């Protein structure tokens, strides 16, 4: 997260023409929308899930952050946008102006997923932070707000992180403005078991707490106050509530003024998740990244090597949905100055062009949402010489901008930009891509219901 009104997330897979195979690793690994503050977890279905915050484009400092999406993978290379799971307007006790949905986390216990998020309850936002809780029986959908945790939050107290110990005891941590607190949660996961206590022994704490355990050692990671560019430091303890022993920096500054990360083991390898601003160049339009994390023999962390290539695959890609439907641009209706041109480089022989001009658009009517409707991934296949974006409308609902980063040239139709949205049942849906934000040629779109 970050706290000087200039802050936090999105999803594109730069890949070959196949929806589910042929992808290669890259950092950032989510580029279709702007995301930050990644909290990573591995659940019993064998997939790794990342719960980030989202930077809304165009930004206005950090106050517009809202509309949490979740992303998952089975191989660390092919990422699935699971769709939006919560926004400020669904928080009954929340700030009436909305926004300010900052770094979240998720935990699982006894068949229920608990989603923890910071959100103010008053117009005077930094004085009224609370740690909210939403629950679901699914890891990435159907979350409902059940309240907030009494005794947490307060002035600048944000960034909740929940750690589940080997004995089933859950602990919650949160903090900001140089103060970090932690305490036990009751079995129901929505109440404190006794008062929180300060996490002592940390050096130069700013925000962004994360706790994990390896070989009997507890690790607490956090962002420090390094001038203008935060770093990620860590401390260790033999107890989940400390006292802690500061160990130093494990992630040097990215290209962003803020820093926020998480650490998780998946299929035998440890990973460090973090964010940077390499896609946008703006500290309040960030993108999440992942690189390997390695340990020394004494349990100390090696400094993470930040890469543009990301991490290699750890397994086969998931098969594409059998219900995936391809919609060619030749079947779209046009608006503004948009045209459909013969294009030998495009897979269908034609592409949607002139989308850099104001009010240009491509529209598909009678798009199928499957037999029962529900979450479906819209995948825009495109070519772009420079970074661009398209505005997405689905059934007249505005889903804001979907990024279409450069593929290296107008003939390079290797770009995918994915966003998961709800669709109605049957062939009742309308999908519209509106241009006017730099140049992109659209090859086709696919629509694929999520499992």
Q: Is 252 marked active-site?
A: no
Ranges of beta strands (E only) in 215-315 are 217-224, 232-237, 245-251, 262-266, 269-276, 287-292
Residue 104, Cβ density class (10 Å: 0-12 exposed, 13-18 middle, ≥19 buried) = buried
Tokens representing residue 102 in the block: 């900052």
Q: How far apart are CA 56 and CA 33, in angstroms?
A: 8
Active-site residue, from 37, 75, 105, 328 = 37
Task: Kindly report the backbone phi and psi dihedral angles of residue 387, in degrees, each rounded to the nearest multiple of 5, phi listed first.
Answer: -75, 135
Q: How far apart are CA 416 and CA 15, in angstroms?
A: 7
DSSP 110-164: TTEEEEEEEEESSSSGGG-EEEEEEEESSSSS--EEEEE-TT---TT----EEEE
Coil, strand or helix at 330: helix
Active-site residue, from 81, 84, 105, 207 = 207
322: Cβ–Cβ under 8 A, 6 or more apart, which residues?
A: none
Q: Is 207 marked active-site?
A: yes
The answer to whether the CB of 35 falls within 8 A of the CB of 288 is yes
CA 446 distance to own-chain centroid:
22
Residues belonging to the active site: 37, 207
């Amino acid at each position: 997260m970050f706290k000087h009104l200039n802050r936090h997330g999105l999803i594109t897979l730069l890949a070959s023409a196949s929806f589910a195979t042929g992808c290669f690793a890259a950092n950032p690994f989510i580029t279709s929308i702007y995301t930050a503050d990644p909290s990573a977890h591995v659940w019993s279905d064998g997939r790794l899930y990342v719960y980030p915050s989202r930077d809304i484009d165009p930004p206005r400092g950090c106050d517009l952050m809202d509309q949490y999406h979740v992303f998952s993978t089975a191989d660390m290379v092919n990422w699935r946008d699971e769709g939006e799971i919560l926004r400020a307007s669904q928080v009954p006790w929340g700030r009436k102006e909305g926004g300010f949905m900052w770094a979240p986390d998720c935990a699982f216990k006894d068949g229920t997923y608990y989603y923890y998020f910071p959100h103010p309850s008053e117009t005077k936002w930094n004085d009224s932070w609370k740690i909210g809780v939403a629950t679901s029986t699914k890891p990435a959908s159907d979350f409902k707000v059940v309240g907030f945790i009494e005794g947490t939050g307060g002035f600048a107290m944000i960034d909740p992180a929940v750690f589940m110990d080997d004995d089933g005891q859950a602990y919650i941590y949160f903090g900001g403005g140089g103060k970090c607190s932690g305490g036990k949660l009751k079995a129901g996961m929505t109440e404190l078991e006794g008062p929180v206590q300060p996490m002592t022994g940390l050096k130069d704490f700013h925000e962004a707490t994360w706790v994990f355990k390896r070989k009997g050692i507890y690790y607490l990671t956090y962002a420090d106050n390094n001038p203008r560019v935060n770093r990620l430091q860590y401390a260790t303890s033999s107890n989940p509530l400390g006292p802690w022993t500061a160990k130093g920096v494990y992630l040097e500054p990215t290209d962003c003024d803020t820093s926020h990360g998480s650490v998780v083991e998946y299929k035998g390898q440890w990973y460090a998740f973090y964010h940077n601003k390499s896609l946008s160049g703006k500290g309040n339009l960030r993108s999440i990244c992942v690189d390997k994390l390695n340990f020394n023999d004494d349990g100390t962390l090696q400094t993470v090597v930040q890469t543009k290539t990301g991490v290699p695959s750890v397994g086969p890609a998931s098969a594409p949905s059998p219900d995936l439907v391809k919609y060619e641009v030749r079947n779209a209706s046009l608006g503004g100055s948009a045209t459909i041109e013969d294009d030998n480089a495009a897979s269908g022989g034609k592409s949607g062009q002139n989308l850099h001009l104001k009010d240009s658009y491509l529209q598909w009517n009678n798009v199928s949402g499957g037999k029962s409707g529900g979450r479906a991934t819209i995948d825009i296949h495109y070519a772009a010489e420079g970074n661009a974006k398209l505005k997405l409308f689905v059934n007249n609902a505005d889903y804001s901008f979907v990024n279409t980063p450069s593929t290296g040239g107008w003939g390079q139709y290797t770009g995918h930009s994915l966003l998961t949205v709800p669709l109605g049942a049957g062939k009742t849906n309308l999908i519209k891509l509106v241009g006017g934000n730099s140049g992109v040629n659209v090859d086709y779109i696919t629509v694929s219901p999520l499992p």
